[in-house]
Chains A and B, each alone.
Chain A
């Protein structure tokens, strides 16, 4: 591990100023991803600015019926929060589907969003990876890529990257139209969560649109007047990344889809909001046929790799099953 200076400033503003002055520094939240990447030699910050106790650990009500989640709220606490379980079950379910009890106790809300998009080539410094070492190539493209992306990858050139974002929580928040509150050297700004994470494009080294020194302080969830749920498919029953996951909310009236939110995990470099499927579904009968047609509309853009084409029908089926479950709940 590279040597680093450890700083624990008194408040969020000081932490932003400290990091802005340290171009190779990093914020430290729960450390469940960053410390691991430092041990592997993948992350090499020369300054760590500990923000775990600098942002709010509270969940507060918003006037519109939504919630504001402090960036420092541990994942375990957020999953157990009664208002989250009641109003946003998809978020509690997504959190509980991720990681282990130990990791959820330590990981923070802000840190969960900022865990790296990654794969086994990224975390192995002896292998080529454009995300870790720009221009070195993508080992996964022709290598082991059974659980890699099927949507939005960069498949040629120096930006080639087929890794997936592993967060479950973020998939739920993308479906919920969350808004990320950020404090930076130039003050505060808000980012719709769908604009926080990036596709690899020509620069897979950047996972998000945050600028250096910007600190996530809170996440706002707007009120949701629909039942919601999360379904995750994985290789083993617990403590494994998604093969495919679906976060969905559905409003059905008189057998017709009035509103729908749909996001997919395990399929792309970022949590994937399924806007094509949502558009295809609004106003349609709430039937298995229209759910399948909507999933097909989204997955028409899929560009699976040699060994992960099975993810396309799996994603379709998980979308259909999740919407059917929600349809029954709303009837």
Chain B
């Protein structure tokens, strides 16, 4: 069943008509031609589709486009609106990928995760004050899988930005 919606993505408003079954991920990739979020599992298990919805990281494959309303969608592409985001630079500097397919999701997830830490949100491994140790980063980023297993470089890439942002001692 077709419904008219307006998606606000990376700073621009896009009126479009979608079948109610369309996920935010498919609307972004197939309708708005924004290939930044990736389709991995399409079931919320791999995190490749992660985007920020009003600043909070979500799996765009499990969000129906018709439910987004006025929320601002930010993709990894949008994080680079004013040049590469510090996370983009850090992923390059730390060689934090091989094939790169999971990277936009990793970057969006890390951006949302650092904001959560800054807000003082605990994780399953938090003991006292929030400090994004390697163990904290691994736990908080567990919703993002990397089939190339570049984790050994993803953790330091995220850690460097966390340190610069003052949420890692």
- Which A residues lie at the B interface, using CB under 8 A? 1, 3-6, 8, 28, 31-32, 35-36, 38-40, 48, 50, 52, 76, 79-80, 85, 92-93, 96-97, 99-103, 105-106, 237-239
How many chain B residues touch A (Cβ–Cβ < 8 Å)? Answer: 38
Q: Which residues of A contact B143 (CB under 8 A)?
A: 99-103, 239
**Which of B19, B53, B124 lies in contact with A238, CB distance below 8 A?**
B124
Q: CA–CA, A48 to B22, complex, Å?
A: 13
Q: CA–CA, A5 to B66, complex, Å?
A: 11
A108 to chain B, nearest CB (A): 12
Task: Tell me if B17 counts as interface (CB < 8 A to partner A).
Answer: no
Task: Tell me if B21 counts as interface (CB < 8 A to partner A).
Answer: yes
* Residue from the set A28, A52, A85, A237 with the largest chain B CB neighbour count within 10 Å: A237
Q: Which residues of B contact A93 (CB under 8 A)?
A: 124
Known: A3-B1, A5-B1. A105 touches B64 (CB 8 A): no
Q: Which residues of A contact B123 (CB under 8 A)?
A: 96
**Which of B3, B42, B43, B112 lies in contact with A101, CB distance below 8 A?**
B112
Determine whether the beta carbon of A31 is less than 8 Å from that of B63: yes
Task: Tell me if B23 counts as interface (CB < 8 A to partner A).
Answer: yes
The A/B interface has a contact count, at CB < 8 Å, of 103
Q: CA–CA, A64 to B159, complex, Å?
A: 43
Q: Which residues of A contact B3 (CB under 8 A)?
A: 6
Contacts A31-B67, A32-B62 known; list 4 others, CB within 8 Å.
A5-B20, A39-B43, A102-B47, A102-B112
Q: CA–CA, A103 to B46, complex, Å?
A: 11
Determine whether the beta carbon of A48 is less than 8 Å from that of B120: no
Residue of A nearest to B49 (CB): A102
Q: CA–CA, A288 to B27, complex, Å?
A: 56
Q: Which residues of B contact A96 (CB under 8 A)?
A: 122-124
Q: CA–CA, A97 to B124, complex, Å?
A: 6
Task: Tell me if B134 counts as interface (CB < 8 A to partner A).
Answer: no
Residue of A nearest to B141 (CB): A101
Q: Which residues of B contact A3 (CB under 8 A)?
A: 1, 19-21
Q: CA–CA, A40 to B3, complex, Å?
A: 23
Task: Tell me if B76 counts as interface (CB < 8 A to partner A).
Answer: no
**Which of B1, B42, B50, B64 lies in contact with A31, CB distance below 8 A?**
B64
Determine whether the beta carbon of B138 is less than 8 Å from that of A238: yes
Q: CA–CA, A53 to B1, complex, Å?
A: 22
Q: CA–CA, A313 to B33, complex, Å?
A: 53
Q: CA–CA, A76 to B123, complex, Å?
A: 10
Q: CA–CA, A238 to B43, complex, Å?
A: 17
**Which of B23, B44, B113, B121 lies in contact with A79, CB distance below 8 A?**
B121
Task: Tell me if B116 counts as interface (CB < 8 A to partner A).
Answer: yes
Residue of A nearest to B140 (CB): A101
Q: Which residues of B contact A50 (CB under 8 A)?
A: 67
Determine whether the beta carbon of A102 is less than 8 Å from that of B44: yes
Determine whether the beta carbon of A238 is less than 8 Å from that of B139: yes
* Residue from the set B44, B113, B123 with the largest chain A CB neighbour count within 10 Å: B44
Determine whether the beta carbon of B67 is less than 8 Å from that of A105: no
Q: CA–CA, A78 to B166, complex, Å?
A: 25
Determine whether the beta carbon of B142 is less than 8 Å from that of A238: yes
Q: CA–CA, A239 to B47, complex, Å?
A: 12
Determine whether the beta carbon of A80 is less than 8 Å from that of B121: yes
Determine whether the beta carbon of B58 is less than 8 Å from that of A35: no
**Which of B1, B66, B109, B119 lies in contact with A102, CB distance below 8 A?**
B109
Task: Tell me if B90 counts as interface (CB < 8 A to partner A).
Answer: no
Interface residues of B in 134-150 (CB under 8 A from A): 138-144
Q: Which residues of B contact A40 (CB under 8 A)?
A: 43
Residue of A nearest to B105 (CB): A102
Determine whether the beta carbon of B109 is less than 8 Å from that of A6: no
Q: CA–CA, A153 to B116, complex, Å?
A: 40
Determine whether the beta carbon of A32 is less than 8 Å from that of B44: yes
Determine whether the beta carbon of A4 is less than 8 Å from that of B43: no
Q: CA–CA, A304 to B123, complex, Å?
A: 33
Determine whether the beta carbon of A35 is less than 8 Å from that of B139: no
Determine whether the beta carbon of A102 is less than 8 Å from that of B57: yes
What string of 1s and 0s marks CB contacts (under 8 Å) between B1-23 and chain A? 10100000000000000011101
Task: Tell me if B36 counts as interface (CB < 8 A to partner A).
Answer: no
